[in-house]
Amino acid sequence: MENEQKKQVVFSAIQPSGTITLGNYLGAVRNWVRMQDEYNCIYALADMHTITVRQEPAQMRKNILDAYASIMACGIDVEKSIFFIQSHVHTHAEMAWILNCYTQFGELSRMTQFKDKSAKHADNINAGLFTYPSLMAGDILLYQADKVPVGADQKQHIELTCDIAKRFNGLYGNVFKIPEGFIPKNGARVMSLQNPLNKMSKSDENANGCVHLLDPPEVIMKKFKRAVTDSDACVRYAEGKDGVNNLMTIYGAVTGKTYDEIEKEFDGKGYGDFKTAVGEAVIEELRPIRERYEQLIADKAYLEDCYHKSDELALRISSRTLNKAMKKVGFIK
């Protein structure tokens, strides 16, 4: 028990905005699983973040359950960790409102995700999309998290979270722990297989660019065989070889091999052999996840049990920080 108390807190979340990708897995979820023994881990499905982009309600309900089962299938164990649904825990919306009042317009305007998403959804640049980072800051700060395992694209949001927390602490004393991003050395930014200058994303229009966690083996292999490379025909990591670099990153992240080892392994071999090897390695990594997902998604009552239990724990922990912050700001009981 004493040891339990000394464990650092880990918090992270993922949007149920579509089916989970290989990028989400290598950049974030795989670390969530690995951190479970060493840390007190709290994870969430950020469904409130998801509605910053218009969703079809029936599809969204399905995506939430699918994402929950997929992430559990990766190895999240609710006996060790908390894995809750953001919209079920009302402290998140409340904390986001408070933090909105301690976040500057200029800061939010500089967020590259906001710029990218408003360019992509020019017909719906809503206030939620703009204030997305203060909801995310609240997610993290409510749990006094030490570490936040995410992909490289979320680094800017974590930095803003720290700035907001320091500003608040500067005014009111030590209310929030200042968190730290935890970004993997390998796999922090997996690129689209069709356009290696763009991040692999759940919402990619080109289906061949994105490998989903639940893609059947033959689909995964087809996507890797069609991956964009170059005319150099040599497996080496170098500037300008974005497609090959991305495949080497994926292969390295899955097998643990360094770029040097990969270059040696494929010395004198063509891209065909290399792509097949990457496809096979990814298929083997994802096979047990897909099998476990099939069992979990067939047992809705069990899933419900898991998130209800986690929702309750999350509410209890986050209420402490919310109450403290409300008191400091000047609200009365």
User: Is residue 188 a contact point for ligand ATP (CB under 6 A)?
Assistant: yes
Among 95, 150, 164, 306, binds ligand LTN (CB under 6 A): 150
Whether 39 contacts 129, CB under 8 Å? no
269 belongs to the catalytic site:
no
* Closest approach of ligand LTN to the CB of residue 50, in Å: 9
**Beta pairing partners, 147:** 10, 180
Tokens 């763009």 sit on residue? 198
- Contacting range for ligand LTN; rule: CB under 6 A; set: 150-158, 241-249, 302-310, 317-325: 150-158
DSSP class per residue in 28-41: IIHHHHHTTTTSEE
CA distance 25 to 4: 27
309 belongs to the catalytic site:
no
- Check 7, 115, 117, 327 and give the catalytic one: 117
113 to 142: interface string for ligand LTN, x by CB under 6 A? -----------------------x--xx--
Give, as one character, the DSSP assignment of residue 299.
-
| 79 dihedral zone (left: phi>0; alpha: psi -120 to 50; beta) | alpha
25 to 64: interface string for ligand ATP, x by CB under 6 A? -xxx------------------------------------
Question: Which of the residues 200 through 219 are near ligand ATP (CB under 6 A)?
Answer: 200-203
| 144 dihedral zone (left: phi>0; alpha: psi -120 to 50; beta) | left
User: Is residue 190 a contact point for ligand ATP (CB under 6 A)?
Assistant: yes
CA distance 128 to 157: 15
Give, as one character, the DSSP assignment of residue 20.
-
Whether 164 contacts 134, CB under 8 Å? yes
101 to 140: interface string for ligand ATP, x by CB under 6 A? ----------------------------------------
* Phi/psi of residue 199, nearest 5 degrees: -65, 140
Burial classification of residue 112, based on how many CB atoms lie within 10 Å of its CB (0-12 exposed, 13-18 middle, 19 or more buried): exposed
- Contacting range for ligand ATP; rule: CB under 6 A; set: 22-30, 137-145, 159-167, 313-321: 22-30
Site for ligand ATP, rule CB under 6 A = 14-15, 17, 21, 23-24, 26-28, 150-151, 153-154, 188-190, 199-203
- Catalytic residue numbers read 117, 199, 202
Positions that interact with ligand LTN (CB under 6 A) = 11-15, 46, 49, 136, 139-140, 148, 150, 154, 157
